[in-house]
Structures are given as C-alpha cells and as structure tokens.
Chains A and B, each alone.
Chain A
Amino acid sequence: SYELTQPLAVSVSPGQTARITCSGDALTKKSVYWYQQKSGQAPVVLIFDDSKRPSGIPERFSGSNSGTMATLTISGAQVEDGGDYYCFSSNSSGNHVLFGGGTKLTVL
C-alpha cells in the first residue's frame, strides 16, 4: 500500500533552518499539506497546496513539492516550534488520503 515517508526526528539550534521531508511516489501529481501538533493538542495546518500558508501562520514556515519529495522549511526555527510534524496527501488514484509517519522536531 502507498506510504508517505518522513524522518523520525530532526534537531536544530534556535535560529537555524529546519527542513522536514516527506517522500512518496504520488507526490509528483498530488498536493501536500503540513500539520504541526504539540503535545496534548489537535493538529494545526501550516501549509496547504504544497506551499500556501494560511493566515496567521508565521512566514518562517514554507513548503515546497518537487518530484517525489515535499519539504517543510522552518527558517530561523524557534524553541516554540518544537513538536510533531505530519505531511498529508493522497495516493495516485485519489481515493485514499494518508499521513506520513510524523517527524519530531527539537529546537534546542
């Protein structure tokens, strides 16, 4: 079955750039969404349609999708950006949507 693959963990120092990847064969044809989840809270959408940022999301969050890999970039990561990040997309036929396994970001 189709999978979206993310690294288990990413660690950066405050002010550095954090990059979280999401790979899947159907990403050449499908959009990617990115969600941030902090402990005990519901997820929040950071990026939709590969690279669009909802109102209220800081400009340091950006997204890209090229080939079979999508990337969430956090420029100048802050300590409060620590948490779990998930990508979300669909399979090539569009009848199934799924999350990546999630990436734990540590900013310390």
Chain B
Amino acid sequence: QVQLVESGGGVVQPGRSLRLSCAASGFTFSNFAIHWVRQAPGKGLEWVASVCLDGTKKHYGDSLKGRVTISRDNSKNTVYLQINSLRAEDTAIYYCARQFNNNSSRSPGIDYWGQGTLVTVSS
C-alpha cells in the first residue's frame, strides 16, 4: 500500500536550518509529483511546496518562499524539504503528500498523505 513517512522534525532554535525527509513506498515514486503541506497548532492546512516527477520543476507557497527548498532523489524514493532561518511561526506539523496522477484534471490535487513530522522552533 502507499506509504509516506516523514522524518527530521524536532525542536530547533530560531535562525537555524532543518531538513525534512519523506520516504515513499508502495508505488512507483518517479511517476508522481510530491507536495509538502504544513499545519500550525490549532490552525488550518497550508501548502508549502511541490516538486514534479523528475525534480526539475518546483513551486513554493508565499509564506516560506526564499527560505525553503524542495528536492527529490528518485533513486532513494525520497523527497526533502530544507527550511532555513527558522522562525517561531514555522512551528507546525509538516506533511508529505502525493499528487493525484490524473493529467486530465484541470488542477492538481493530493491523494495520499503521510502522518507528518512536528517541527517546533523555540529557544
């Protein structure tokens, strides 16, 4: 079955960097775009970034733009999210999610989610 397992979260001091990983299994990884979505405590879902099948096209949400980099390694079935200059407001659960493989759709959507990894930015 489809599995997405995030790792790399934890408590980080403001201003530091963090790299999150998402290990995928149960499907042909290189056939799917992957997204990162975050959710601050008690708040709604916020889209963070996405990467296309071969990693050449990347898109970023406005809130982290300039401080975040998404990448993927198809040989390892893994997606990464590098976040720099962490701030208290970056405290959230970070989810890795798979995009629907439906080219006929008018816009992309997400079909499977990981369970998330908690990032806490605090001194």
A residues with CB within 8 A of B: 1, 29-31, 33, 35, 37, 42-45, 48-49, 54, 84, 86, 88-90, 94-102
Specify which chain B residues have a CB less than 8 angstroms from the CB of A54 in the assembled complex: 111
B residues with CB within 8 A of A: 35, 37, 44-47, 50, 59, 61-62, 95, 100, 102, 105-111, 113-116
Specify which chain A residues have a CB less than 8 angstroms from the CB of B44 in the assembled complex: 84, 86, 99-102
Specify which chain A residues have a CB less than 8 angstroms from the CB of B61 in the assembled complex: 96, 98
Of all chain A residues, which has the CB nearest B60?
A: A96
- C-alpha spacing A102/B46, complex, angstroms: 10
Contact present for B113 and A97 (CB under 8 Å) = no
Question: How distant is A14 from chain B, measured CB to nearest CB, in Å?
Answer: 26
Of all chain B residues, which has the CB nearest A41?
A: B115
- C-alpha spacing A34/B116, complex, angstroms: 19
Pick the contact of B113: A1, A42, A101 (CB < 8 A).
Answer: A42
Contact present for A99 and B114 (CB under 8 Å) = no
Question: How distant is B119 from chain A, measured CB to nearest CB, in Å?
Answer: 16
Contact present for A31 and B109 (CB under 8 Å) = yes
Pick the contact of B45: A29, A43, A94, A96 (CB < 8 A).
Answer: A43
Contact present for B45 and A37 (CB under 8 Å) = yes
Contact present for A45 and B110 (CB under 8 Å) = yes
- C-alpha spacing A85/B37, complex, angstroms: 15
Pick the contact of A97: B50, B95, B102, B106 (CB < 8 A).
Answer: B50
Specify which chain B residues have a CB less than 8 angstroms from the CB of A49 in the assembled complex: 102, 105-106, 109
Question: How distant is B18 from chain A, measured CB to nearest CB, in Å?
Answer: 20
Specify which chain A residues have a CB less than 8 angstroms from the CB of B115 in the assembled complex: 42
- C-alpha spacing A72/B110, complex, angstroms: 17
Contact present for B108 and A90 (CB under 8 Å) = yes
Contact present for B102 and A88 (CB under 8 Å) = no
